[in-house]
Structures are given as C-alpha cells and as structure tokens.
Amino acid sequence: MSNQSLEEIMNVEAATGPFGKGDVVLQQTLRDFIQLQSNTIAVGTSLLGVRTVPWMTYKWYTGVEGTFSYPLDDNAVVDPTKIGTASYDVVLRKGQGRCVFLDSTSLRGETWDGMDRQQLAIVTARANKIDNKILTDIKAGFRQTAAATAVFGSATADEESDLLAGMDSIFANARVSGNEALALVLPADKRSAMLNTQLYGNVVESLSDHMGRIGNLSIYYTRDYGTSSALGNDALLMIPGGETGEFLQYNGPGYMETELTRIEGVGWSWLLTSYYGSVIHEHQDSGATAGDGKSNRIYKITAVRS
C-alpha cells in the first residue's frame, strides 16, 4: 500500500466494487489524506483544536459557578457547588463535492494527473468551507469587543494600541494564566498594514514582528472578508487551541468519504462526502452565561477595514 499512487488507490478495477471490502485500508488512507490536505490548506484549523470523532452529535454539561473557600475551621464542611443541567452541544453536518471524469476528455489525452487536479480543487473548496464554518463560529463566540481606532493602515490608525487593549481584556477576564500565545485573524487586504516597518524603541521592524516579539502573537490572513462573509470588516484576537474551541470531523464507520462510480456512456463520477462541525467551549469566565456559546478568550476588533 505504501508504494501505491493516488491513482491506484482510486482504481475501482482493483476491487469487487468501488472500495469494496478488500479496500477498507485503502479507503481509510484516502479519507485521512483528504482530511489532512483540507486541514493543511485551511486557516481556521490553526485556531482551534482539531480531532476526528466517532459520533455525530455531542453534549457538554457545564457548571455555571464553582467556588472554593479558604481558610476554614478544621471541622467545617462547605456547601456543595450547585451542579445544574446547563449544557451546549455540537452537531456534525454533511457536506459534499463532486466531479465527473468524462470518457471523451480521457480519450483526447487527459491524464490522471489532470483528474487529480480536479479532485484537489474540490479538496481546496472543502478547506474554504471549513474556514468559513470555523471563522463564523469564532466570530459568533466573542464576548469582548471594541472598535479599531481607525481603519488599519490608515494615517490615523493605531494598530498596536488596539491589539494591546484586546490582549489586556482577554487576560483580565478569561480563565487563563496570562502567558498564553495569541492569534490574530485579519482580512487579507490588511497584510501590508502589518508588514509596514517602523521604529519601535531602537529597533526597525514590522508591526507583525513587533507584536510577535512582545506579545507572542501569530497572525493569520483570510480571504473570507467583506459583505456576506465570515469575518466581515472585523478582526479576531484570541487564544488559539482546543480549550477555546474545536473543529470536529466524523471519521467512524457507516459511510464512504470518497466514491468512484461508473456512469454508463459518460465516464466516472467522483463524490466526496464529509461530516464536520465546530464548537466554542464555554468556561466559567467573568460575565459568562451558560449555554450562550460565548468565550472571553475571543475578542473582536470592529471596523479594521471600511
């Protein structure tokens, strides 16, 4: 199997049917390849924890309040913290992409290399949908926000001050140690604003390098901005990782992620099916309301672009 190409893995003639019982291992290999490729391309998977799961829906129960009393008399016993039924959940949804490899184009010289490019185009489109899902959920999950001093990159902008204020809000209100790394998600057309060099103290560097040095900040750029997009005209500052939220993909039994089927007189139909979702985890943060899907680990900076 380790020496087989993607073409050979996709070749249904090697099995009793498309990914028959003898090809279970190959099917799983291709499934893992597609998921990994989409995750590598996607920006959002660098912001949340990523894992595959054997279930389609899951519920987390969370205590609204937790207390600890000190000091106490040696013989005293505290009252129990109230454990409620407040909860939040995630449901994995179905997505599909499909292309057809026509006999006519194959007869005229199209190779499997060209067909692979069509498949990878669907994988890329899947990555874009993953990004949109993750960024939409992260933006919906903010609890703290402030407007930018001015549009990033403009003459009156103060990007450093806006970012430092956001960092202070996160560390002041979220249940964190204060030493966590941070991530900033910006519209791609604001990249130049972050790469402009200027003098900080006695060091000439870009704002992105400067914030990375003093604030342990990583910057990610997305094309999913503007009208009717995930990011809109805003930026997201957050603590990345699985404690803030997770991107979950179904990788259990019961369905085939890829199917190659013969269409009589036409060609081969290649179908990609995925089930995935994302969740913002709730914590006992300052001002938290159980079940609202919000987190003080996420800070929205509005109007970074016009």
Report the pLDDT value the prediction gives residue 6, as an integer from 0 to 100. 52
What does the alpha-carbon distance between residue 181 and residue 191 come to, in Å, rounded to a whole number? 20
Which stretch of 70-79, 106-115, 164-173, 216-225 has the lowest confidence by average pLDDT? Answer: 106-115
Q: What is the pTM of this model?
A: 0.82
Report the pLDDT value the prediction gives residue 266, as an integer from 0 to 100. 92
134 near 42, Cβ under 8 Å? yes
Enumerate the β-bridge partners of residue 187: 222
Pick the residue with more confidence: 241 or 5? 241
Enumerate the β-bridge partners of residue 95: 274
303 conformational bin, left if phi > 0, alpha if psi -120 to 50, beta if neither: left
- pLDDT tens, position by position, 115-146: 677 878 888 888 899 999 999 999 999 999 99
Other beta carbons within 10 angstroms of residue 199's beta carbon come to: 8
According to DSSP, the β-strands at 197-200 and 203-206 are antiparallel
173 near 286, Cβ under 8 Å? yes
User: Residue 251: which of 18, 58, 92, 67 has the closest Cα?
Assistant: 92
- pLDDT tens, position by position, 1-51: 445 555 554 454 444 444 444 455 555 555 566 666 666 677 899 999 999
User: Residue 215: which of 177, 173, 167 has the closest Cα?
Assistant: 167
Helix intervals (H) in 71-158: 103-107, 112-140
- pLDDT tens, position by position, 205-219: 999 999 999 999 999
279 near 88, Cβ under 8 Å? yes
What does the alpha-carbon distance between residue 11 and residue 168 come to, in Å, rounded to a whole number? 55
Q: What is the mean pLDDT of residues 157-162?
A: 96
Q: What's the CA angle centered on 59, arms 56 and 63, to 5 degrees?
A: 165
Report the pLDDT value the prediction gives residue 32, as an integer from 0 to 100. 62
Report the pLDDT value the prediction gives residue 255, as an integer from 0 to 100. 78
187 near 233, Cβ under 8 Å? yes
Q: Can you read off the two tokens belonging to residue 14?
A: 């090697």
Element of type H or E holding 262: strand 258-263
